[in-house]
Amino acid sequence: MNNAARITGAALLTLGLALFGWKIFFLGLPLVPSDPEGLWAADLAVQARGGPGTASVTVALPESEPGQVIFDERSVSEGLSFAVRSHGGQRLGVWSGPVDGAINVAAGFRVQLNANTEPKARTDEQTDDALLGATIELPARAPEVQALLERLRLADVGSEADRARMAFAFVNDEVGIVPTGSDDAILTLASREGSPSGKTRLLATLLRAAEVPSRVVVGVRLERGTLPTEVPWVEAYAGGRWISMSPTEGFFGNRPPGLLVMRRGSLNLVEATGVDAVVHRFHAIPERLRPDELATMMSPSSTILESLSLYRLPVATQNALRALLLLPLGGLAVSFFRNIVGLPTFGTFMPILIAYTLRETSLGLGLVMVFSVLAIGILTRVLLDRLHLLMVPRLSILLCIVVLVVVLLALWGRGLDQTDLFSGVLFPIVILTMLVERFSITLAEEGLRGALVKAGWSVLIAVAVYPVFRSVLAEHIMFGFPELLFVVMGILVWMGAYTGYRVSDLIRFRSFAQERDDS
């Protein structure tokens, strides 16, 4: 190893480790994630388009109550003014100002969910009038609803709790859900099927018609390993306590844990005036640190570090950076396997990209996808060889076949009710098409054996890197301490200056260790 490389590597290593050590030992930042249950970083992002003119966007803001503690609230405003208002006991975030073109705003917060899911007791504001009256959304006086009330003989039943149970049983059993169904209570009743919102509104309407004080609630289901989904339900006040029930999720009594309450009294998370094409999206990632640890990560006792803390970024950006910051570790692994061990792979980054594919899907599904793509590569070669086609069109045909297979998989996935099979895997599919290109070029250049050897080692290295890419600890350390990139670079400088033997050299030249037996 030459001296310049030795010193450069050592300098990078020292710099990274010094920053890292300072943050750990002097600022007391947590090295090992405590991985608490039910703690999430979330944000509700709204994208709208409109103007020129004055516009306002209103989103529901969650509130601390039994079952959930909200903290670290922040907003992204993009030049609009932001205010938090209270409307009928509901917290709302309101952005307003002149708009011309696209606007992106977001309300972010952290939430600790816990097992106690009983709504807090009724306050004076929540009078019977407010919980029983007919509204546009909940038309409890409509003739169709009254007719249904008659038919079910709901008015004859004594207790509020029994009426609530009967109304729930009717909506739960007799009304179907279709995702494209109506959001309207009356239309849902007429066609005996509706959207989750429609079904929920119908239940609340029916309850109010039957003199059970009730309101609709919209929340978000936060569950590890799945995307956050909006969930509507109904809260009815019967027998001196709140009963939560959902004819779409199928619960009655208490709501199950993992549901974050966003808004009561309306199912709209977002309302806007003066703009159109309003799209909202909920992002959430599980936090790996306790709230007090998060506080030290976000506001270490150094102003420079505070401004550099990645924990202050929007959730979607955090998510992307968490994945991105792991890639250098993959680079480290590939450098080791190629330059110290001497394994042949497809390019430098292909094993990292395959490992990334596995991270985004799962080990099983990812490997199935990788091997099917390789099989397609071989099969296409066998089939197209006779046609004597030129390289680029042939590779493009391969691309068409990969897309075709993905389409078939998506259809098959729908059959299995796995609608989200492909929502998060567009990037992996792009990676796989790159893999099939590299593979089939190698197939042509070096033959089946050479291509399979390279593919095999690439996949094996990817599988070796995969646990690191999935590791909560590695993700936390790289995200919380990005200065470790300098350490990675330092090691890479050293590795790059390593001029000694590779393990593959030892195998290849092993005959030199044997006795000279041929003279």
Q: Which residues bind other proteins (CB under 8 A)?
A: 339, 342, 388, 390-392, 441, 444-446, 497-502, 504-506, 508-513, 516-519
| Shortest Cβ 435–other proteins spacing (Å) | 16
Task: Indicate the residue among 56 and 339 with the shorter CB distance to other proteins.
Answer: 339
Instruction: Look up residue 123 and give its two tokens.
Output: 């306050």
| Shortest Cβ 391–other proteins spacing (Å) | 4
Helices (H), 64-159: 128-132, 143-152
Helices (H), 325-362: 327-335, 350-360
Residue 501 in 3-state DSSP? coil
Pair 34, 289: CB distance under 8 Å: yes
| Shortest Cβ 11–other proteins spacing (Å) | 20
Pair 217, 233: CB distance under 8 Å: yes
Task: Indicate the residue among 153 and 386 with the shorter CB distance to other proteins.
Answer: 386
Task: Indicate the residue among 197 and 440 with the shorter CB distance to other proteins.
Answer: 440
Task: Indicate the residue among 84 and 506 with the shorter CB distance to other proteins.
Answer: 506
Pair 238, 164: CB distance under 8 Å: yes
Q: Count other Cβ atoms within 10 Å, centred on residue 426.
A: 11
Spatial separation of the C-alpha atoms in residues 330 and 349, rounded to whole Å: 9
Task: Indicate the residue among 98 and 447 with the shorter CB distance to other proteins.
Answer: 447
Spatial separation of the C-alpha atoms in residues 106 and 43, rounded to whole Å: 6
143 upstream amide cis, omega within 30 of 0: no
50-84 core/surface letters (b: 16 or more CB in 10 A; e: else): bbeeebbbbbbbbbeeebbbbebbebbbeebebee
- For β-strands 241-246 and 229-238, DSSP reports them as antiparallel
Contacts of 258 (CB under 8 A, 6+ apart): 38, 113, 221, 222, 223
Spatial separation of the C-alpha atoms in residues 224 and 209, rounded to whole Å: 39
| Shortest Cβ 465–other proteins spacing (Å) | 22
| Shortest Cβ 331–other proteins spacing (Å) | 17
Spatial separation of the C-alpha atoms in residues 190 and 208, rounded to whole Å: 18
Task: Indicate the residue among 150 and 505 with the shorter CB distance to other proteins.
Answer: 505
Task: Indicate the residue among 101 and 450 with the shorter CB distance to other proteins.
Answer: 450
Pair 90, 264: CB distance under 8 Å: yes
SS3 string, 394-435, reads: HHHHHHHHHHHHHHHHHHHHHHCCCHHHHCCCHHHHHHHHHH
Task: Indicate the residue among 214 and 440 with the shorter CB distance to other proteins.
Answer: 440
Task: Indicate the residue among 4 and 308 with the shorter CB distance to other proteins.
Answer: 4
Task: Indicate the residue among 2 and 303 with the shorter CB distance to other proteins.
Answer: 2
Contacts of 361 (CB under 8 A, 6+ apart): 369, 424, 425, 428
| Shortest Cβ 1–other proteins spacing (Å) | 9
| Shortest Cβ 5–other proteins spacing (Å) | 9
Spatial separation of the C-alpha atoms in residues 132 and 293, rounded to whole Å: 45
| Shortest Cβ 454–other proteins spacing (Å) | 14
| Shortest Cβ 382–other proteins spacing (Å) | 16
Q: What DSSP character marks residue 79?
A: T
| Shortest Cβ 450–other proteins spacing (Å) | 9
Pair 194, 216: CB distance under 8 Å: no
Task: Indicate the residue among 158 and 500 with the shorter CB distance to other proteins.
Answer: 500
| Shortest Cβ 485–other proteins spacing (Å) | 24
Give the count of alpha carbons within 13 A of 116, CB side only: 9
Instruction: Look up residue 338 and give its two tokens.
Output: 């190629």
Task: Indicate the residue among 171 and 461 with the shorter CB distance to other proteins.
Answer: 461
In the chain, the amino acid numbered 414 is R
| Shortest Cβ 177–other proteins spacing (Å) | 53
